[in-house]
Structure 1
Amino acid sequence: MPGEKKSEIASVWTRPRRQREQLSREQIVAEAVRLLDADGIEALSMRKLGTRLDAGATSLYRHVANKDELIELVVDEVYGELAVPAATGAADWREAAARSAYSLRAMILRHPWVASVLGQVGLIHLGPNVTKMSQRMAAVYDAAGFPADETEQALSTVISYVIGMATSEAAYLSLIARSGKTEREFAESLPAGTAGSAGTAGSAGTADAGDMRVGDPQQAREETFDYGLQRVLDGLAVRLGPVGG
């Protein structure tokens, strides 16, 4: 009818779930995560996903309107893997913040594609896992005693550090995977004094190449990550004074 307004569904999270169908949204999301983990974000398409599910793209569109909605769903799915401990007060906020940061780093290393799409998701329509975990992380900084107008900034500072470091680590590990070597073999093949090259602090958020040639390269990466994280938390602790620090 002329002038009649069509109702629009604003988000995938408000889309009614279809019942009694062979293919479910959960199956679609799980297979999309597997595809992304194996081949990266560039390989994701509704057609390719439909092929992997032995279903036509049309079947997928009954559950997910487009690729953007699918990305919202897969990001929310992997966010559900995060472990965010509660902070009961200023005395234990730092441990809770560090454990949350390590959990986020581990999730990104399991799903390296997620870092490239975090900026596209969650700005308007947040899924349940993203919402819950974001609130739990914010609560840690709130319990620390940050002023209300700084809580979100403190959290964003730590998250930005984690995403930056983990993205570099993921790129480095991807390089190793393509080489066909183990991480130790790759580290041992690096020439001495090549700091700043692939796999070193300049490009992959890892330890200096000289350090990686001896000892455990995975441990070197973890120590480098922790060093930076602790210095970020040191800086935030200054804002809290002697109790929160």
Structure 2
Amino acid sequence: MAAETPAIPSVWARPQREAEQPVLSREAIVREAVAMLDADGVEALSMRKLGARLNAGATSLYRHIATKDELMELAVDEVIAEICVPALVGDDWRAAVTEAAGGFRATALRHPWLSAVLGQAGLAYLGPNLMAFSERLATLFADAGFPEPSRAIDAVLAFVLGMSVTEAAWLSTVARAGETETEFVARLMPAAREAVSGHQHLTEAYAAQQAPDPAEIREAKFAYGLAVVLDGLALRLPR
């Protein structure tokens, strides 16, 4: 039996193989998952679809991330890193908290799935970015003189998350219609006015919402609600 001919030890002497997939990293997987969530929402994300987007089998993904739940924890932590919490300058804690709350809202609207899943994403609060965010908020409220910073944080975030869930759902509806927000509202308003006819306060509220840019109304609602929350928190500061 003839001995097997040894291969020539050179890359140039063997047939060219199909391009090998580069080694996946957890970071690359999470970035792609966030892009899919932003585009299509939580329901459309699966390990199989994610693997196809990355040209990898689900088995390759499971080497880094065991379940979809783990993936959601990582995705939440990834986008939380976008939120800036300023340090307290002087004694204007309201301006700093307003900036942080506005940053959270902006992040939640860039990633419409975030607010809805934040409370469901397992132990997402243990993520390094979410931990750092919470620590910066705690430092801000402690420096402002609040005796129970965590209670103040809970109050602000409950408001921001509640508003952001509603806004994100609304903007997703507008996006599915394939229109600008202004166009969608203009088409909706006749039906809305008809629906509230006979209800005095609702009729007045709809009549007031005639700004040329509906985004201005959303901004004003958020600013008003946040100011009310901060007014209440101010009463908790030691005199």
Tell me the TM-score normalised to structure 2 length.
0.81
Decide whether the 8 Å contact of 1:138 with 1:152 is kept in 2: yes
Alpha-carbon distance between aligned partners in 1 of 2:153 and 2:51, rounded to the nearest angstrom:
38
User: What is the CA-CA distance between 1:88 and the residue it aligns to?
Assistant: 4.2
Change (3 A) 1:124 1:186: closer
Asked if the contact 1:190/1:213 (under 8 Å) is kept, the reply is: no
Q: 1:212 is matched by which residue type in structure 2?
A: Q
Give the corresponding residue for 1:240.
237
Query: What residue in structure 1 maps to residue 76 of structure 2?
Result: 75
Q: Which amino acid in the other structure matches residue 36 of structure 1?
A: L
Q: Mark the structure with the bigger radius of gyration.
A: 2
- Structure 2, unpaired ranges of 5+: 1-21, 196-203
Residue 208 of structure 1: how far off its partner (Å): 4.3
Offset of 1:215 from its aligned partner? 2.2
Aligned to 2:222: 225
1:52 and 1:193 map into 2 onto residues whose CA distance is 41
Which one-letter code corresponds to 1:178 in the other structure? Answer: R
Q: Structure 2 vs 1, CA of residues 238 and 182 (structure 1 numbering), >3 Å: closer, same or farther?
A: same
Distance of 1:125 and 1:146 partners within structure 2: 22
1:238 to partner: Cα distance: 1.2
Aligned length: 210
Q: Name the aligned partner's letter for residue 158 of structure 1.
A: V
Query: In structure 2, the residue corresponding to 1:84 is in which secondary structure?
Result: coil
Following the alignment from structure 2 to structure 1, what is the Cα–Cα distance between the partners of residues 46 and 143?
42
Write the deviation string for residues 167-203 of structure 1: whole angstroms up to 9, x where unpaired: 10011111111112111111222335937x8xxxxxx
2:49 is equivalent to residue 51 of structure 1: no
After TM superposition, the structure 1 = structure 2 runs for residues 26-41 of structure 1, keeping only pairs within 5 Å, are 26-41=27-42
Aligned to 2:7: none
From the superposition, tell whether residues 181 and 209 of structure 1 become closer, same or farther in structure 2 (CA, over 3 Å): farther
Aligned residue for 1:18? none
Aligned to 1:133: 133
- The residue that corresponds to 2:159 in the other structure is 161
The amino acid across from 1:209 in the alignment is: Y
Q: How big is the shift at 1:42?
A: 0.9
Trace 1:46-195 onto structure 2 (pairs within 5 A): 46-88=47-89, 91-121=91-121, 123=123, 126-147=126-147, 150-191=148-189, 194=192
Aligned to 1:120, the other structure's residue is in SS state: coil
- Alpha-carbon contact 1:45-1:67 (below 8 Å) kept: yes
CA 212–80 in structure 1, closer or farther in 2 if over 3 Å, else same:
same
C-alpha displacement of 1:211: 3.4
Letter in 1 for 2:64: H
Amino acid at match of 2:171: L
1:191 is paired with a residue whose SS is helix
1:143 Cα offset (Å)? 1.1
- Give 3-state SS (helix, strand or coil) of 1:85's partner: coil
The answer as to 2:210 corresponding to 1:213 is: yes
Q: What amino acid maps onto 1:194 in structure 2?
A: A
* AA matched with 2:30: V
8 Å CA contact retained: 1:190, 1:209: no
TM-score normalised by L of structure 1: 0.80
- The answer on whether the counterparts of 2:83 and 2:104 sit within 8 Å (CA) in structure 1 is yes
What residue in structure 1 maps to residue 199 of structure 2?
none
8 Å Cα contact 1:188-1:212 kept in structure 2: no
Determine helix, strand or coil for the equivalent of 1:154: helix
CA-based RMSD of the aligned residues comes to: 2.2
Superposed CA deviations along residues 42-76 of structure 1, whole A, max 9, x for unmatched, are 11111110011110000001111111111111111
Q: Percent same amino acid among aligned pairs?
A: 55
Give the secondary-structure state (helix, strand or coil) at the position aligned to 1:82: coil
